[in-house]
Amino acid sequence: MTDTPTGIDLHTHSTASDGTLSPAELVQAAAAEGLRVVALTDHDTTAGWAAAAASRPAGLTLIRGTEISCRWYGAEPAVPLHLLGYLFDPTDRALRAELDRVRAARTVRGERTVDLLRADGIDVTWAEVLGYAAGGSVGRPHIAQALIRAGLVADTTEAFAPRWLGERYRLPKDDIDVFAAVKLVRDAGGVTVFAHPRASRRGRIVPDSLIVELAAAGLTGLEADHTDHSPAERAHVHRLAAELGLVATGSSDFHGSHKTVQLGAWTTGVAAYERLVSAASGVPPI
């Protein structure tokens, strides 16, 4: 377990998806926080990689990654889940095609969500949501911004309550089969870590039997230390990782002011970090 901060934070979001700092601001903030390693993991995109790399302060290592919207079809209805992909070749055609497809699905789902809200007389527009996304991957936090602007909720957390985006106005999007995603990232030279696998307060979670299958299919790690895990859930994920020979990570899942968690709030141990890096061959840490 990594109760001692190590300065290695492997899960953050920028304006390339639903964070509020630009990629350049994010790497600067990471260095200012005293982090040694930060991973940029925007939802279903590598669009922030170049700007983050160009602005990386000396002394900060950047891990280039993404957080992939996946689905497990072994339950009915299928369960959505997130995989962190790291250090893969961003020019890999098969992986790129799937990320492009999921980003398009985000746009479709976002517009439909706005239609649903408007049909109920709620004064939000697709144009403003696209404005909040500002060219990045469109996500529910951008719709949350519109609900805040309309004075209907106080903050992002309230926008995810069941009566809003958490349930009533929650639509599925066309995600990537989780086994296909593990293989795509591996084939592109990267490694995958299952993000917040026990975050039950956000929605349904998958059984450990799926994690056993994913480990056999090439998953490299489990994100154990995360704000959405209780202490018991963290301990469970650490145990499972040890049993299955998976790397256990800890990360903030920083989203700027869209969430309250701070950079470096959770960190990954040095040995775990080195295992991830040595298992990857797509692009190096920089």
Residues within the interface to ligand AMP (CB under 6 A): 18, 43, 139-141, 156-157, 160, 202, 255
Q: In this complex, which beta carbon is closest to ligand AMP, that of residue 56 or of residue 255?
A: 255
- What string of DSSP letters covers 204-272? ----HHHHHHHHHTT--EEEEE-TTS-HHHHHHHHHHHHHHTPEEEE---BBTBTSSPPTTSS---HHH
Does 253 sit near Fe ion (CB under 5 A)?
yes
Outline where DSSP puts E strands in 145-230: 176-177, 191-194, 221-225
Stretch that binds Fe ion, among 99-107, 190-198, 212-220, 259-267 (CB under 5 A): 190-198
Interface of this chain with Fe ion, residues 68 to 97, rule: CB under 5 A: 82
Nearest CB to Zn ion, comparing residues 197 and 269: 197
Q: Total residues at the site for Fe ion (CB under 5 A)?
A: 4
Q: Which does 91 bind (CB under 5 to 8 A by kind): ligand AMP, Zn ion, Fe ion, none?
A: none
Complex with ligand AMP: residue 31 or 38, whichever CB lies closer:
38
3-state secondary structure of 160: coil
Amino acid sitting at position 49 = W
Stretch binding Fe ion (CB under 5 A), from 2-10, 162-170, 193-201, 235-243: 193-201
Contact criterion met (CB below 8 Å) for 211 and 178: no
* CA–CA gap between residue 220 and residue 223 (Å, rounded): 10
Least distance in Å: CB of 95 to ligand AMP?
18
CA-based nearest residue to 181, from 48, 69, 41: 69
Question: For residues 111-140, which are near Fe ion according to CB under 5 A?
Answer: none
Cβ-based nearer residue to Fe ion, 14 or 126: 14
Query: Taking Cα atoms as reference points, which of 106, 107, 270, 90 lies closest to residue 185?
Result: 90
Question: In whole angstroms, how close is the CB of 70 to Zn ion at the nearest point?
Answer: 14
**Other Cβ atoms within 10 Å of 98 Cβ, number:** 20
Q: How far is the CB of 215 from Zn ion (least distance, A)?
A: 25
Residue at shortest CB range from Fe ion: 82
Taking the least distance from each CB to Fe ion, the nearer of 67 and 98 is 67
Q: Show the CA angle centred on residue 83, arms to residues 86 and 282, nearest 5°.
A: 20
The binder of Zn ion chosen from 9, 18, 92, 175 (CB under 5 A): 18
160 interacts with, out of Zn ion, Fe ion, ligand AMP, none, CB within 5 to 8 A per kind: ligand AMP
> Distances in Å between the alpha carbon of 168 and those of 52, 75, 165, 237?
36, 21, 6, 30
Bridge partners of 65?
41, 86
234 binds, among ligand AMP, Zn ion, Fe ion, none (CB under 5 to 8 A by kind): none
| Rounded Cα gap, residues 29 and 159, in angstroms | 27
Chain residues binding Fe ion by CB under 5 A are 67, 82, 195, 253
Chain residues binding Zn ion by CB under 5 A are 18
